Structure 1
Amino acid sequence: MVVATEEMAVYCFDTLIAHYTGEQPPPPAFEDGNHPLFVTWKKASNGSEPRLRGCIGTLEPRQIVSGFKDYALTSALRDRRFPPIQSKELPSLECTVSILTDYETAQDYLDWEVGKHGLIIEFTDPDYNIRRSATYLPEVAGHEGWTHIETIDSLMRKAGYNGHITESLRKKIRVTRYQSTLHTMHYGEYIAYLKKNRGAAPAINGLPVVNGFKTGH
């Protein structure tokens, strides 16, 4: 089974930086395969808890090299919930890569474990008679401190349902649970990786980046 690695996170940083410099990213240092995957960017400022800056991926298997290349940029630049990440934000960024595994149909909306399972919910909106769906990665519910019901209700809102949530409606939800392996890398760790393995850090807008900060004026 393919697992998420630091080289995958490095490749996402490489891809984002190549977007800013107009160059091609170095070739990936991991083998290709076909798996569902996600790329999540978070930003931490002044020692604060990292906050989400973009998260996009696919629940269907695809080639992981092209997948990480595509979603590194899509999640950073085209997540509709956030403005595009700018190069000046790089020192504060962390990247999490996720490989999704073990898809299973849950018996009901309570048949999953907080911190272990990610969720895909599908249901019919009773007000508009349309199908709605949404997903949370396995780490979301535990990070937020949510119960099973709070997670399901939040997912229903994420799917676009604005009506009254009843127990009867929850019981009609189709839930697919899944697991994931993930790796999180902060920009400072990325720079350390480059210095160790490539002997140099990248340059943005003509200025070399040292210890996560641009030099010069």
Structure 2
Amino acid sequence: MAASCCGVKRQKLNNSMPAVCCNGSSVHSNYHKNGYTVAVADMCFFCFDVLHSHLYSYEQPKSPIFTNESFPLFVTWKIGRDRRLRGCIGTFSATSLHGGLREYAVTSAVKDSRFSPILKEEFHKLHCSVSILTHFEEAGDCMDWEVGIHGIRIEFVNEKGHKKTATYLPEVAVEQGWDRIQTIDSLLHKGGFKGPITHEVRKSIRLTRYRSEKITVSYHDYQAEKLSKQRA
């Protein structure tokens, strides 16, 4: 599965080259089932189980009971009270939820090139988010999307003539306090564009907008769920 990172690592717009992770694969049209909410807390609990087993070299958990339909997805780990980003990787290719979450729970925790791998000592401080991507639409131009509503994926040609891609999930622009132009410029830098960003550069971007079903749980939520199951 081709992987893509989803957010920023304390990025500032005047940085000459913000942190870059690997970029995404082809975008599919629309995987959302009308009237059906896909993301559930059990997905995050499963990611906690998978990461715990990986960190302690335990046997991997059995397949979960939530749906195993195929969707593009991302797994995000944050840490501490300030919820500092600790890793976020996913895929734009539709992948079965059981296998995809099993893979990206670990990949986002230990293979995000912007961060050192998550350690055992950090596990009890973590927050896990699962984002299920839906409603993919080709935008009319790079401004044809709404902050806080859409995630965006851009395709562009860099100053050396190489095709590049990069993405931000819907919450990134809101968390950073960016408008659409600031978000686009940041995303160009994230994707590896090093030249001056002009109106012509922005106009040449091919942008796909999408929405996300996101669920987040903390380690304490995870522990409470485990205790509840033991008592049942």
The two structures have a TM-score, normalised by structure 1, of 0.88
Amino-acid identity (%): 48
* 1:3–1:182 Cα contact (<8 Å) kept: no
SS in 2 for 1:146: coil
Contiguous gaps of at least 5 residues in structure 2: 1-32
Residue number in structure 1 paired with 2:125: 92
**Alpha-carbon separation, structure 2, partners of 1:29 and 1:95:** 19
SS in 1 for 2:193: coil
SS in 2 for 1:198: helix
SS in 1 for 2:55: helix
**Alpha-carbon separation, structure 1, partners of 2:62 and 2:125:** 22
Partner of residue 157 from structure 2, selected from 107, 124, 138: 124
Q: How many residues align?
A: 196
**Alpha-carbon separation, structure 2, partners of 1:134 and 1:35:** 19
Contiguous gaps of at least 5 residues in structure 1: 201-217
Structure 1 residues 10 and 83, CA gap change in structure 2 (3 angstroms): same
Partner of residue 75 from structure 2, selected from 11, 35, 39: 39
**Alpha-carbon separation, structure 2, partners of 1:31 and 1:98:** 15
The structure 1 segments of at least 4 consecutive aligned residues displaced by more than 4 Å after TM superposition are none
1:16-165 alignment runs, 5 A limit: 16-21=51-56, 22-44=58-80, 47=81, 49-125=82-158, 127-165=159-197
**Alpha-carbon separation, structure 1, partners of 2:63 and 2:162:** 43
The two structures have a TM-score, normalised by structure 2, of 0.82
Residue number in structure 1 paired with 2:27: none
The alignment's C-alpha RMSD in Å is: 1.2
Name the stretch that deviates more: 152-161 or 25-34. Answer: 25-34
Higher RCO (C-alpha 8 Å, min separation 6): 2
Name the stretch that deviates more: 26-35 or 50-59. Answer: 26-35
**Alpha-carbon separation, structure 2, partners of 1:29 and 1:61:** 19
